[in-house]
Structures are given as C-alpha cells and as structure tokens.
Amino acid sequence: MNLSVLSLNMWLLPAPFSTDNKQRLDTFIEYAKKTKPDIIALQEIWPMHFVNRIRKQLPMYNVSIAKGGLFNATGLMTLSKLKPKHKSHLIFKRTPRHNLQEFLASKGILTTEFATKAGNISFSNVQIYSATVLHENKVSEDQFKILKDMTKQGNHIVAGDLNFNQDKFIRLNAGHFYHKKTNGITICGKNKYQNTKANMIYRNNKLLDYVLTRIPDKKVSVKCTIVKKPIMSDHYGVLANIRVQ
C-alpha cells in the first residue's frame, strides 16, 4: 500500500495576526489539486470561513474537523480521499504555565481512522504547544507524552507541527515513531512570512513539522520532501510518500 501525506501549518489566523490569507489559501488549494495527496493534515485553520472555502474548492476530499462556532475548535483540519471509519479529537488542557497566546489557542489532536489494504490505520493530525521560555517546556513535553500514550497500540500515522527541533524530537521520541534524520527545515529565515510584523517569533532554520509512522507488524518506508515552493505559509510543508508492505 502506498499513501501520500501532506502536512502544513497554514498560519490562517484572523487578520491582522497573519497576512496574505486569501492569496496563500488559494495557492494551497491549487497545490493540492496539482499534487493530489491521499491525506492532507492542516494546522492553524482557525476561522470557519477558511474551512468552508477549502471544503468547497476540494470536494474530492472527506473533511474532518473538531466542530466549533465561528472558529474551528482546534485549528486542525484533515482532508482524506479515504472515507473515515471514525473521528475523534482531543484538546490539550490549559495549565498555569501557558503563555497568553497559547492559552487562547486550543491546540490538540484530531484523529481519523481508515480501513486500508494494510489494515486499519489511525491518522493523527497534531499541533503541540510552542514553548517560548524554559519553564514552558514541560507543557509541550507532556503533550507529546499524551500523543505517545495514544499511539502505543495499533497502526498509526502522525502528521503535524510538533514545535520541537529535530534533536529534541529524537530525544523525546526514543524510537516510538519511525523517523529518519534529515537536514530539511520547515522554519526558514528565507521564507518571506517569517520574522515579519505579523510574526515576530524568530525561530529560523529548524525542522518543526513531521510525518511519522508507527506500524509495528509491517515493513514501512517513508520518504519526506520539504515543500519550499510554492510558499503557502510561514512554515514549509512536508510531503511524505509512505509505503507499507
């Protein structure tokens, strides 16, 4: 079985907290139509009118979100050619360690389960807390532990913005998910949407976005490509080709 998976943090926030929203969304839609990934994991699709536009423009995909009112409850959106057997979501608990920006954002995990030729596979679209100071690291590390605990049993593909650089991810992962070390980066100072007035974070030249697998009883190979062009967000995307035998 072969699956293509695209993961992309879309950075679609209410204006003025992100820029060129319509232009970037249209670029993503054209890219999805051209490349036709089997599954697309999007993060930071907050306003529902963006969700509805994607649903309308990409009718060939089944859409999974955690429903809210004017806003997508988790900011996560999964598009799949396969029809999900089951959907669920988890919103990470807020803690006293949360900074204001992260306290306002309901980050979490959106899980969809599919029947495939390789058996049932659970697909988790995830965005983890972005720690900005040392004492916040426990928040993001605890959230990653929740993800690991959720994926101990069964077959899993995980895609999303983990907000860990690669060295830290490898240490925390401890072999739980399959990941081949890479020189690729998804946060880059050359990306015109990094370090702008709307995005003063200064996190240059890091790999924060991943497509991971945990399919214990099968032979699995994963080839990941960083999507630098077209520029669709302040993050580059990750396009993975997964083969399960």
- What are the average pLDDT values for consecutive 10-residue runs of the chain, which has 245 residues? 97 89 98 98 96 98 88 95 96 80 81 94 96 87 97 98 96 96 92 74 81 96 97 97 96
Which residue type does 231 have?
I
pLDDT at site 103:
61
pLDDT at site 86:
96
Using DSSP's 3-state secondary structure scheme, residue 193 falls into coil
How many separate domains does the chain show?
1
Torsion of CA 238, 50, 188, 143, to 10 degrees: -70
Spatial distance between the Cα atoms of 90 and 111, rounded to a whole number of angstroms: 8
pLDDT at site 203:
61
Residue 171: which domain range? 2-244
Pairing of strands 2-12, 62-65: unpaired
pLDDT at site 130:
84
pLDDT at site 6:
99
pLDDT at site 16:
83
Using DSSP's 3-state secondary structure scheme, residue 121 falls into strand
pLDDT at site 201:
59
pLDDT at site 125:
99
Spatial distance between the Cα atoms of 55 and 59, rounded to a whole number of angstroms: 6
Q: What is the CATH number of the domain that holds 157?
A: 3.60.10.10
pLDDT at site 67:
78
pLDDT at site 207:
96
How far apart are the two ends of the chain, measured CA to CA in Å?
Answer: 6
pLDDT at site 69:
76
